[in-house]
Amino acid sequence: MMLASTIWQRELIEFAQRRRALVIKLAFPLLVAIPLVLSGAPPIYAAMGITMLAAIIGALGAAAVLSRERQSGLTLRYRTLPVNPGRLLIERLGTSAAIDFMQLTPVLLLIALRHPSQFAWWPALMLGTAAVLLIGNLLGALASTLSNSPGEVMLYVVVPLLPLLYLSGVFTTLDQPALLLISRLLPFGYLHEAVLGTLGGQPNLLPWETLLGAFGFLVGAAGLTGRLGRRVLETD
Amino acid sequence: MRDDTASEPSLLSTSGLTRAYRGGKGVFDVSLKLSAGEIFGLMGPNGSGKTTLLRLLATAANPTAGRISWFGTTDFRDPSVRRRLGIMLDQPAHFEQMTGYQNAWFFARQFGLSEDFARERLDELFNWSGLSEARGQLVGEYSLGMKRRLNLVEALVHRPSILLLDEPTLALDYRGELDLIERLQLLGLTGTAVVLATNDVHLAERLCDYIIFLHNGRVIREGRVPDMLTEVAGSKEVELQLNSPVDLDGLRRLAAVEGASVQGDVVHVVLSRGANPAQVLAVLNGTADLVSVMRVRQPNLGDLFLKLTGVVLPAAHR
């Protein structure tokens, strides 16, 4: 019997023990990505689909789990643990984002193998995916504090997520300077650029610029998660 | 609030403790003091604020006014405070896709137990709770009673200085209830303080040193159990099972009636000292055929509550 002594170990053990969920979690992104990557769809559309997939997996997964825990009383139990709330949330969302990353790894491998000549974009692709997943998890965690109903929480996730994806230039190329500036201040554009570059499209940024942006958002998201620990865990 | 003395330092104290929710619910202006080895009962009907008060004491909720001090500190996030609290909340929340033992192990380790000590304590507590056979079973497959027993194991595993238990006997069988009473009495003797929220008057009378009655979020009476029972000593509780509605106001107007309340087809009447239960039948004005059962018994804490508020504790007449 696997035993967990830490919060991140517990997350991993529970994930590994949910066999059916494990299969679905690994199969679902591939089912979406295979037609996009292998069918010869224009890179701009494929990049849009994969960026949305990463954002939704991160945000909806965390929102669903945390709102269910709030309803069942597990959040109250976490609240009474002798652990700093910031550290607790970082461990939980960090592990959850890592599990989401594992879920997306077959998709990333598929993209890389399909376009091996674009290897310069691979680091940005990985870091961009990690940043979007962690931010998605944080968004889901914040949404879970707004309602005890999982259905309602899904709505609270999607409502800000779609405009943010638009403002990141995921749905359409942004020409106006003001919108372009806003897109640089949001994390999703960097993943979109990285996917576009890896698929052989025409991104606006260079690989190192995208890598730097993604890294900044990853670090920023980790810091923000720590600061929002009390907000997420101690809100009734 | 009782006086604190140098010989009896309090482990837990509150003053003016308030937690207000929208709609007027919550707890208001609660002051209490809990010493080592003391067993404290919080009693009141559903919605009276027992669970809210217990959550505040358990650091699971923040007060909107007043203060709480645990072991001399008021910082509810202090890990050294939380490590000394054993908590069983109203919801038996667990990780359902993990086994009972995996759940208990996780919580034991979170409370700072070494691997060897956690193993030793869990072996002992799983045996005590009767969950040994089910330790490898997923919690999602546990019955409510098993989940509650697992909660008790998790609350006790790190040998807390204060145990905070919400309805600890709920969903336990008779054997489990007796084992729990014995365990809590033993813990009391070794200096562990216990706060239990309960409506089980027999449990409270048997176990508690001190009782607080809560009604609409406020303390309406508190005291040592023998003192509180003295208040209703000599009076009688009459329970009437009725075939049709009765004139409750007429009953309450009787000088001998200290309190009366109706629950479904059962009327509970507390009679003052020396009163004759036949007076109750007399007020029914010759319609004795509407009474299918009449019981007379010695009063308990539930009757005192009824006398004070006119409200019956849900489990008072079990």
Q: Which of B82, B93, B106 sits opposite A72 (nearest CB)?
A: B93
What mean pLDDT is predicted for residues B191-195? 95
Whether B109 and A236 lie within 8 Å, measured CB to CB: no
Q: Does domain B233-309 have CATH number 3.30.365?
A: no
Kindly provide the b/e burial profile for residues A28-38, where b requires at least 16 CB atoms within 10 angstroms of the residue's own CB.
Answer: ebeebbeebbe
Could you report the per-residue pLDDT of B212-237, keeping only the tens digit for each?
999 999 999 999 998 888 887 777 77
Weakest-pLDDT range from A75-79, B85-89, B175-179:
B175-179
Nearest residue of chain B to residue A82 (CA atoms): B79
Location of structure tokens 């009327």: B267
Kindly provide the b/e burial profile for residues B300-310, where b requires at least 16 CB atoms within 10 angstroms of the residue's own CB.
Answer: bbbbbbbbebe
Chain A hits for B165, Cβ within 8 Å: none
Could you report the per-residue pLDDT of B118-148, keeping only the tens digit for each?
999 999 999 999 999 999 999 999 999 999 9
In this structure, what are the phi and psi dihedrals at residue A80, rounded to the nearest 5 degrees? -95, 5
Chain B hits for A18, Cβ within 8 Å: 97
Per-residue pLDDT for B240 more than 70?
Answer: yes
Tell me the sheet residues that pair with B163. Answer: B86, B194
Chain A hits for B95, Cβ within 8 Å: 10, 14, 74
Pairwise CA distance, residues A195 & A43, whole Å: 8
Alpha helices in chain B (DSSP H): 50-57, 79-82, 100-110, 115-129, 144-156, 174-189, 201-207, 225-232, 248-253, 278-283, 301-309
Per-residue pLDDT for B69 more than 50?
Answer: yes
- Interface check for A82 against chain B (CB to CB < 8 A): the answer is yes
Per-residue pLDDT for B281 more than 80?
Answer: no
The residues near A112 (Cβ < 8 Å, ≥ 6 apart) are A119, A122, A125, A198
Whether B60 and A79 lie within 8 Å, measured CB to CB: yes
**Minimal CA separation from B5 to chain A, in Å:** 30
Per-residue pLDDT for B262 more than 90?
Answer: no
- Interface check for B171 against chain A (CB to CB < 8 A): the answer is no
CATH 3.40.50.300 domain locations along chain B: 10-229
Which of B98, B126, B152, B165 to mutate to probe the A interface, most A CBs <10 Å?
Answer: B98
User: HSE (CB half, 13 Å, CA atoms) of A90?
Assistant: 15
- Interface check for B56 against chain A (CB to CB < 8 A): the answer is no
Report CA-CA distances (Å) from B228 to B2, B48, B162, B208, B224: 15, 19, 24, 12, 6
Write down the pLDDT at residue B1.
43
What mean pLDDT is predicted for residues B105-130? 96
Q: Which of B82, B91, B95 sits opposite A82 (nearest CB)?
A: B82
Do B138 and B103 touch, CB atoms closer than 8 A? Answer: no
What order of strands is seen across the sheet that includes strand B218-224? B85-88, B162-166, B193-197, B39-43, B210-215, B218-224
**Minimal CA separation from A59 to chain B, in Å:** 21
**Minimal CA separation from A153 to chain B, in Å:** 20
CATH 3.30.70 domain locations along chain B: 233-309
Task: Show the tokens assigned to B198.
Answer: 């309960």
Do B155 and B84 touch, CB atoms closer than 8 A? Answer: no
Per-residue pLDDT for B279 more than 80?
Answer: no
Write down the pLDDT at residue B170.
86
What mean pLDDT is predicted for residues A154-164? 93
User: HSE (CB half, 13 Å, CA atoms) of B315?
Assistant: 15
Residue B5 binned pLDDT confidence (cut-offs 50, 70, 90)? very low
The residues near A205 (Cβ < 8 Å, ≥ 6 apart) are A190, A193, A213
DSSP class of residue A228?
Answer: T
Which of A2, A8, A9, A10 to mutate to probe the B interface, most B CBs <10 Å?
Answer: A10
- Interface check for B109 against chain A (CB to CB < 8 A): the answer is yes
Per-residue pLDDT for B245 more than 70?
Answer: yes
Weakest-pLDDT range from A90-99, A190-199, B280-289:
B280-289
pLDDT top residue among A219 and B251: A219
Whether B83 and A82 lie within 8 Å, measured CB to CB: yes
The residues near B264 (Cβ < 8 Å, ≥ 6 apart) are none
Could you report the per-residue pLDDT of A195-217, keeping only the tens digit for each?
999 999 989 899 999 999 999 99
Whether A72 and B91 lie within 8 Å, measured CB to CB: yes
Polymer length of chain A: 236
pLDDT top residue among B299 and A17: A17
What's the CA angle centered on B310, arms B305 and B314, to 5 degrees? 60
**Minimal CA separation from A13 to chain B, in Å:** 8
Per-residue pLDDT for B202 more than 60?
Answer: yes
Dihedral of CA atoms A221, A226, A231, A232 in degrees, nearest 10, equals: 70
Kindly report the number of other CB atoms within 10 A of residue B42's CB atom. 30
What mean pLDDT is predicted for residues A80-85? 95
Write down the pLDDT at residue B220.
93
- Interface check for B97 against chain A (CB to CB < 8 A): the answer is yes
Write down the pLDDT at residue B286.
58
Pairwise CA distance, residues B108 & B155, whole Å: 9
Of B84, B101, B80, the C-alpha closest to A4 is B101
Whether A14 and B136 lie within 8 Å, measured CB to CB: no
Chain A hits for B136, Cβ within 8 Å: 1
Could you tell me how many CB contacts below 8 A there are between chain A and chain B? Answer: 77
The residues near B302 (Cβ < 8 Å, ≥ 6 apart) are B199, B201, B312, B313, B316, B317
DSSP class of residue A3?
Answer: -
- Interface check for B25 against chain A (CB to CB < 8 A): the answer is no
Chain B hits for A233, Cβ within 8 Å: none
Whether B102 and A2 lie within 8 Å, measured CB to CB: yes
Whether A5 and B109 lie within 8 Å, measured CB to CB: yes
Return the CATH number of the domain spanning residue range B10-229: 3.40.50.300
pLDDT top residue among B310 and A143: A143
- Interface check for A85 against chain B (CB to CB < 8 A): the answer is yes
What mean pLDDT is predicted for residues B90-119? 95
Per-residue pLDDT for A26 more than 50?
Answer: yes
Could you report the per-residue pLDDT of A212-232, keeping only the tens digit for each?
999 999 999 999 999 999 999
Location of structure tokens 């929220």: B197
Residue B285 binned pLDDT confidence (cut-offs 50, 70, 90)? low
In this structure, what are the phi and psi dihedrals at residue B244, rounded to the nearest 5 degrees? -150, 165
DSSP class of residue A115?
Answer: -
